[in-house]
Structure 1
Amino acid sequence: MTKLQQDDTTNDDHPTTPSPVPETGLPRDEAIVARMGGRKGFVYSAIPVVVFVTANLLLPLAMTISVAVLTGAGLMVFRLVRGERWTSAAGSLVGVAIAAGIVALTGSAKNYFAVGIWANFAGFLIALGSVLARRPVTGLIWNFVHGRKYRWRSDRTVLRAHTVATLAAAGVLGARFGVQQWLYIADNTNALGVARVGMGTPLSAVVALVILWAFRRSTKQLAPKKTKTGEGVGDTGQKPAE
């Protein structure tokens, strides 16, 4: 068997798919989506908020800030001990530290939620804008994970799937902003905490399922297809697709 024949056999037996992520065993694109709605993510995001709101009811603001930062640090250490990457574990502390710093500077407990509220608004604008530009952001992410070699926007089925997924993300981000900004203006810190937890990972899990559907549909539609030379569709030697 010639080397060319061996290469063609290899390509047929192993379709172009992302390499699995060691921690999960899932393909890289599915692992990215899984992390959006995992149970651990729910716990890691909920604990600092619950601690902050509870401490704010019982303690002076300065002590509330200290308890929040210590909680973030404790979560970071816990995640490091469990073998998580430094960059992932540090997120438990960095987010809390930034929010607590804003509270310390402004002297208002409700500002603990300000960064998250406006981050939701920014995400909503990006997601909606990408759909209006016919470049839904979930499709850009899928194509990036797959080496930017598929002209995915030329496939109506794939473009439609990512439009639906990106609109789902935009809807959740917009809803979070609308509800939490209303509570922020009403100066209801406790309700803000409830809204942050209730509209956090549970809604992210729903969006993750929609995005996972779009990713799998895109992979099924494009990645397994081959040209006569054994290359993936869109892998034409031209400038990478958007």
Structure 2
Amino acid sequence: MAKLQQQDTTDTTTPSGTGPARDEAVVARMGGRKGFVYSTIPVVVFVTANLLLPLAMTITLALLAGAGLTVFRLVRGERWTSAVGSLVGVAIAAGIVALTGSAKNYFAVGIWAYFAGFVIALGSVLARRPVTGIIWNFVHGRKYRWRTDRRVLRAHTAATLAAACVLGARFSLQQWLYITDNTSALGVARIAMGTPLSALVALVIVWAFRVSSKQLGLKKADTGHKQAE
């Protein structure tokens, strides 16, 4: 009897190895709060330098800022893929500026990346396969039929739509500023629509991940109890 009572009090609300901590870790690997902040620093350096210095020096300072951040993040023990990835982005943007001779092209790659992300996110929702749900299931071993659970599907639909809205808004505004040759405003828009909106979307994604872990974990636990009976 004592053993049976001990089994009944065991927490089975989430599957083994899942839960809030793991879900937040997944979002952190997608960038995390610090990653969002780090991505704005080279932009601030580039826009500020572009107002005061020749284009060649502006490009150089942006690259130095990206390289400095990469070294700083590696010293702090962050994942090298995240640290080096940000430098690669800065290098590509700076290379395009150097080739075209136009400061506004520093933002061109990011603008069209927003558009691509918007199309992918919206398309996945229309196909009833929201991207955040695919990611959640992948990191949990692809062992859940998450799309058959209406609550889980709705949660990931909301999270993916939130990402699509942010990406679409970034593309629309920044593409308009790009066309009007307003480089300074482009920088301000990139910063203003960067970290704050990314953090908001990250919160929605974490919520969707938690809903999935809890809902599908409960179902798994109920199935286990029925089999035991």
Compute the TM-score of the two structures, normalised by the length of structure 1: 0.83
User: What residue in structure 2 maps to residue 78 of structure 1?
Assistant: 72
Q: Give the C-alpha shift of residue 81 in structure 1.
A: 1.4
Q: Give the C-alpha shift of residue 220 in structure 1.
A: 0.9
Q: Report percent identity of matched pairs.
A: 81
Q: Give the C-alpha shift of residue 123 in structure 1.
A: 0.3
Q: Superposed, which structure 2 residues align to 1:2-151 within 5 Å?
A: 15-18=14-17, 27-34=21-28, 38-151=32-145
Question: Number of paired residues?
Answer: 217
Q: Give the C-alpha shift of residue 227 in structure 1.
A: 6.5
Q: Give the C-alpha shift of residue 179 in structure 1.
A: 0.4
- Aligned residues: CA RMSD: 2.2
1:228–1:211 Cα change, 3 Å: closer
CA distances 1:133-188 after superposition (whole Å, capped 9, x unpaired): 01011111111111111111111111111111111110000000000000000100
CA distances 1:188-226 after superposition (whole Å, capped 9, x unpaired): 000000000100111011111111111111111102333
- Structure 1 moving runs of 4+ over 6 Å: none
State whether residues 23 and 210 of structure 2, in contact with CA within 8 Å, keep that contact through their aligned partners in structure 1. Answer: no
* Counterpart among 147, 155, 160 of residue 149 in structure 2: 155
Q: Give the C-alpha shift of residue 39 in structure 1.
A: 4.1
Q: Give the C-alpha shift of residue 228 in structure 1.
A: 7.8
Amino acid at match of 1:16: P
1:18–1:101 Cα change, 3 Å: farther
Paired with 1:122 and 1:221, the residues of 2 have a C-alpha distance of: 31
The structure whose residues are more often helix, as a share, is 2
State whether residues 18 and 145 of structure 1, in contact with CA within 8 Å, keep that contact through their aligned partners in structure 2. Answer: no
State whether residues 18 and 29 of structure 1, in contact with CA within 8 Å, keep that contact through their aligned partners in structure 2. Answer: no
Paired with 1:93 and 1:45, the residues of 2 have a C-alpha distance of: 9
State whether residues 124 and 131 of structure 2, in contact with CA within 8 Å, keep that contact through their aligned partners in structure 1. Answer: yes
User: What residue in structure 2 maps to residue 222 of structure 1?
Assistant: 216
Paired with 2:200 and 2:31, the residues of 1 have a C-alpha distance of: 8
Amino acid at match of 1:167: L
1:197–1:35 Cα change, 3 Å: farther
Is residue 177 of structure 2 the alignment partner of residue 183 of structure 1? yes
Unpaired runs of 5+ in structure 2? 1-6
**SS state at 1:43 partner:** helix
Higher relative contact order, chain-length normalized (CA < 8 Å, sep 6+)? 2
Paired with 2:177 and 2:49, the residues of 1 have a C-alpha distance of: 19
Paired with 1:186 and 1:122, the residues of 2 have a C-alpha distance of: 22
State whether residues 15 and 220 of structure 2, in contact with CA within 8 Å, keep that contact through their aligned partners in structure 1. Answer: no
Compute the TM-score of the two structures, normalised by the length of structure 2: 0.87
Paired with 1:151 and 1:211, the residues of 2 have a C-alpha distance of: 19
